[in-house]
Structures are given as structure tokens and as C-alpha cells.
Amino acid sequence: MKAKTMTGGEIHLGQDLADNLKTRLRGKVLIPGDVGYDESRTVWNAMINRKPALVARCLGADDVIACVRFAREQNLLLCIKGGGHNIAGHATQDGALMLDMSLMRGVWVDTQRRVAHAQAGCLLGDVDRETQVYGLAAVLGFVSQTGIAGLTLGGGFGYLTRRWGWTTDNVVGMDVVTADARVVRANSEENADLFWGLRGGGGNFGVVTNIDYALYRVGPEVVGGVVAWPASEAPGVLELYRTLAEKAPHELTLVALMRPAPPAPWLPKDMHGKPIVAILACYSGNSDEGEKIVAPIKSFGKPIGDTLVRRPFTQLQALLDATQPTGRRYYWKSEYLPRIDPRLCEKFIEHAERIQSPHSAVVLFQIDGALNKLAREHSPVGNRDARYVLNVTSSWEQEDQDRANIEWAREAWKEMKPFSTGGTYLNFLTEDEGPERMEAALGKALSRLAELKAQWDPENVFRTNRNIKPASDSAEVQTSRFSASA
Ligand SMILES: Cc1cc2nc3c(=O)[nH]c(=O)nc-3n(C[C@H](O)[C@H](O)[C@H](O)COP(=O)(O)OP(=O)(O)OC[C@H]3O[C@@H](n4cnc5c(N)ncnc54)[C@H](O)[C@@H]3O)c2cc1C
């Protein structure tokens, strides 16, 4: 079979070598045609359709070590799949040895130290379920099927971010298999430099096998859900959003969005497919207090649907899952915002009106609070001036609709970009976004990250990511079919 080298060349990989890898692992090794191969290689974004030469379904750190060693010996391109939810699809590469981490999903909760030890193949929902058993929660994201590894290594934000900061601000340690196939501990005392780099620098420094999260008392009940109105109400609803968000306590997180109404049972049938505006809210403090605080949202105008109620935290964490299924085509554009400017709201409405697909949306996430209080250099995720995230999320079914949907997203982004802090979220970058966008995401941290890369991965073994290259490296991994006018 054909395989890719780390430096961009092609080699023949004989069956004997695949068999050799099999003898070194507890987990299975799959090649094209094997049962499970297609499931492993598939990622969330159907725009990305690649075929690794080998898939190793790792069962533990020892399998990961064996794979890194094998890839080094054979000069094989290596890629790592966590939850497979990265929009840019870095988890899969043609001809690579893919480490599929999806069988490493154990979670252990230390209630005394209030720390969750989570294996790196966990999805967010795995951690939520196990921690909520004890009325505890980690700071994770909005969709329960997202992988913890990619989310955490690139930053991470969700309903609890306003109280406790980026996900990665709340990591207390990680175990990492490094480029020289050693497992090392990274925390504030051991390998503190590596620990710094891991918290926002993407998967550049090794294969993370375990992440330890600080936990907080949350739930099991919160006040959360969505209220929706016809898009004609958007000016008033967005003004309500802006004013409520400005004075909201950190227990409250508000998200505003506009899109065609999905065919959801809580929305009237005659509204399905018609444009709506909605506010998604979560109050994670005392529920009596929460009900009072969200009352102005529920009583505003004449909503066409309202699911903003007391509910289990784990349920809220999965509320958006159905809107983001694996297998659609996706293209995003994103910026951090310092505030909600009324003129931005006008552009938001204007571009929502031009949406090309029933699945696309424009979204504003509120994230201000704890993350703004830490020093910029606390970790590479930085962006300590970010108070909102704007995400233009284009989502459609057919390949022949690519151009229209991508162009819509680019145009909407171009017109709303002037309201940005100048920063953007590493984890929301599409595959056609280049070095200048990485600079926007990581800013001044980039030079320190490059030094760390030279120290921990001088040969750039871990390159199938938002790659921070050591200076000597020039090899390319697969890039976009959509490189024009990103
Ligand atoms: C539907 C959806 C909802 C989202 N919601 C949020 C949200 O609410 N908040 C938020 O912050 N982000 C969100 N994101 C963005 C998300 O954080 C990124 O897509 C993230 O990369 C997903 O992680 P993953 O493990 O699923 O990705 P993958 O595609 O598996 O991996 C992403 C990158 O991480 C690397 N990687 C994966 N595992 C490891 C590992 N063990 N060691 C080293 N490197 C590794 C991969 O090589 C790849 O480069 C969302 C994404 C989607 C698609």
C-alpha cells in the first residue's frame, strides 16, 4: 500500500510492516477495506474525505508510544483523531498512520481534589456524565459530541467559561507522549514549559493521553434552553441580547443566533424553514435566581417557541447536538469581539437574510468574565480581551452547493470583521486559513511556541495540526481545495 512520509514523499508500505505494527499494539490496526476502517477515518466535516494508510485504534499510552516509535522508524506521516470534530479536518490525512483515540474514553472523578482524569479520546458528554454524578462539572463546550482533546488543546469555551475561563485555564495536568516516544507529565511543577504550550498551542507537542480538569459545583439542575421569535423581531431581540449580556452575572451565559428554523418539535410546523432569531441561555447558579434573571427573555414580544426551563445540566450540554450532525458539509468564519456594537447587529441581520442553506446560522457567544482577568501570557490561548465570539456557520448537504455556501460565509465575515478585537479562535479556523490567521489566534505567543516546538518536536513529527514549525522545516501536509480568497 502507498503511504506518506513525514516530509511529504511517498513510500510503499508492505503488509509485513502493517503486521509488524499489529504485534506491537493491544488495540487493532486497520487498513483500507477492514471493518471499522471507514468509521475511524471519517470526521465530522464531510468536506474532508481522506484515507490514511493505517489506522491504529489505541487502547492506552503504551499503544500510543508504540505508534510514535513506529512512525519515526518508518518515517511515516502521523495524524491523531480525538473526537474528529475539527472543522479543518486535521485528524485525518491521506497515506498517514492515524492514531484513533476513540476507544480511550475512561473518566475518573477524584471528588476530594475535585479533579477529573479523562482519557484523551473522551467526548465532552463523557466527562459531563461522569462528573455530574457528583454534582461537579468541568468547563467544556456547547456540543456534547465534540472531542475533549482538540477542544482543550486549542482553548475551549462553553456555558461555564464566564465563571472560570477558557477550558484550558482549568486544566491542572496532562500526560503526553512526546516525539521521542516517552510519556511525560506536564503540569505547573513538572515540565511547566510544555504545560504552558499545551494550553492553547494545539496538538503540536505530542499525543496527549490524559487530561486532568479542575471541577466546580454545578447542577445537576440549571436553567437553560432557547427562546425563538420570527426574524422580523431581530432588531428588538438583538438589542435585548446586547443590554442583558452587558449586565449579566457570570452565572448567566447568553448566545444569540439567526438561522432558518429547524424542523424541531418545539417550533410551530408552519415556521419550519422560515428565518428566526433566538436566544440560548444557561444560568448555572441557583435555579430560583436563574428563573428571575431569564424572565425578561421569556416575556419579550411574542416568542414562537420557548424551551428555557429548569433542566439537567447534562441535557443542556447536549441540546445543540442534533443541529450539528456528522456528515454534512461545513465551512466557518469566526472572530472575537470586544462588545456588541449596534452596527454589528445590523450586519448580523443583513447576512442572516442571505443564508443559502436551511442549516446555516450566524451566532454570537458570550464568553466575558474570568478569562479576561488572567494575564495575556498565562497560556498561548491568550485573547484576554475577547468578550464575545462571532461564528458564521455555513452548513449544507450537496457538493454542488459548496461555492454558494462558502461565499456566503466569507462575505458575511468580511463585513463583520471590522468589529473584531483582531483575534480569532484557533479551533474555529477552516483548512484554507493560513499563517496570518494563526497569528490572529495566537499573537505574541507564537514565537515562544516555536521555541518550545524546536525543543520538544524539532523534526515536526506532530505536524498534522495548526502547525507551529521549527525554523528548519519546509514539508507540507495536505492543504485546501478552497485556498482562493480565504
Ligand atoms: C459541532 C461543533 C461544536 C463545537 N463547539 C465548540 C464549543 O462549544 N466550544 C469550543 O471551544 N469549541 C467548539 N468546537 C470546536 C472544537 O473545539 C474543535 O473542533 C476541536 O478541534 C475538536 O476537537 P476534536 O478532538 O473533536 O477534534 P479532532 O478533529 O479529532 O482533532 C483536532 C486537532 O487536535 C489534534 N488532536 C486530537 N487529539 C489529540 C491528542 N490526543 N493529542 C494531540 N493532539 C490531538 C488533532 O491532530 C487535530 O489537529 C466545536 C466544533 C464542532 C464541530
248-272 pLDDT, tens digit per residue, is 999 999 999 999 999 999 999 999 9
Residue 334, beta-bridge partner list? 391
Q: Which residues, 6+ apart, have CB-to-CB distance to 243 below 8 Å?
A: none
Q: Which residues, 6+ apart, have CB-to-CB distance to 254 below 8 Å?
A: 241, 244, 245, 248, 279, 280, 281, 366
Pocket perturbation via mutation, ligand 1, pick of 105, 153, 424 by most ligand atoms within 8 A of CB: 153
Does the Cβ of 21 fall within 6 Å of ligand 1? Answer: no
Pocket perturbation via mutation, ligand 1, pick of 80, 161, 167, 391 by most ligand atoms within 8 A of CB: 80
**61 sits in which H/E element:** helix 61-74
Does the Cβ of 80 fall within 6 Å of ligand 1? Answer: yes
Does the Cβ of 141 fall within 6 Å of ligand 1? Answer: yes
E strand residue ranges, 301-425 = 305-306, 309-312, 329-337, 361-366, 388-396
Residue 325 CA, ligand 1 centroid: distance in Å: 15
* Overall residue count recorded for the chain in this entry: 486
Q: Which residues of the chain fall short of a pLDDT of 70?
A: 470-486
**Which cell numbers in the block locate residue 313?**
445540566
256 burial type by CB count under 10 A (0-12 exposed, 13-18 middle, 19+ buried)? buried
Number of Cβ atoms within 10 Å of the Cβ of 273: 12
Nearest CA to ligand 1 atom 37: 82
Residue 276, beta-bridge partner list? 230, 259
Does the Cβ of 81 fall within 6 Å of ligand 1? Answer: yes
Q: Which residues, 6+ apart, have CB-to-CB distance to 458 below 8 Å?
A: 179, 470, 472
> Residue 1's pLDDT is what?
82
Question: Are the CB atoms for 475 and 463 separated by under 8 Å?
Answer: yes
Strands 97-100 and 54-57, by their bridges, are parallel
Q: Which residues, 6+ apart, have CB-to-CB distance to 290 below 8 Å?
A: 222, 223, 251, 252, 283, 284, 310
Residue 278 CA, ligand 1 centroid: distance in Å: 26
Q: Which residues, 6+ apart, have CB-to-CB distance to 427 below 8 Å?
A: 86, 87, 150, 151, 154, 155, 156
Question: Are the CB atoms for 254 and 241 separated by under 8 Å?
Answer: yes
> Residue 480's pLDDT is what?
43
At which residue does the C-alpha cell 418539535 appear?
Answer: 265
Fill in the DSSP letter of residue 261: P
Secondary structure (3-state) at 312: strand
Question: Are the CB atoms for 36 and 81 separated by under 8 Å?
Answer: no
d(CA 389, CA 142): 13
At which residue does the C-alpha cell 482549568 appear?
Answer: 170
d(CA 143, CA 85): 10
d(CA 33, CA 227): 46
Using CA atoms in the order 324, 92, 20, 57, what is the torsion angle rounded to 10 degrees? Answer: -20
First to last CA, the chain: 34
**Which cell numbers in the block locate residue 312?**
439537567
Question: Are the CB atoms for 284 and 162 separated by under 8 Å?
Answer: no
> Residue 473's pLDDT is what?
56
> Residue 484's pLDDT is what?
35
> Residue 323's pLDDT is what?
95
d(CA 83, CA 247): 35
CA 244 to chain centre: 26
> Residue 472's pLDDT is what?
57
Task: Single out the residue of 392, 383, 384 nearest to residue 415, CA to CA.
Answer: 392
3-state SS, 130-159, equals: HHHCCCEECCCCCCCCCEHHHHHHHCCCCC
Question: Are the CB atoms for 40 and 55 separated by under 8 Å?
Answer: yes
Using CA atoms in the order 462, 59, 318, 113, what is the torsion angle rounded to 10 degrees? Answer: -90
Pocket perturbation via mutation, ligand 1, pick of 105, 151, 332 by most ligand atoms within 8 A of CB: 151
Question: Are the CB atoms for 471 and 454 separated by under 8 Å?
Answer: yes
Q: Which residues, 6+ apart, have CB-to-CB distance to 19 below 8 Å?
A: none
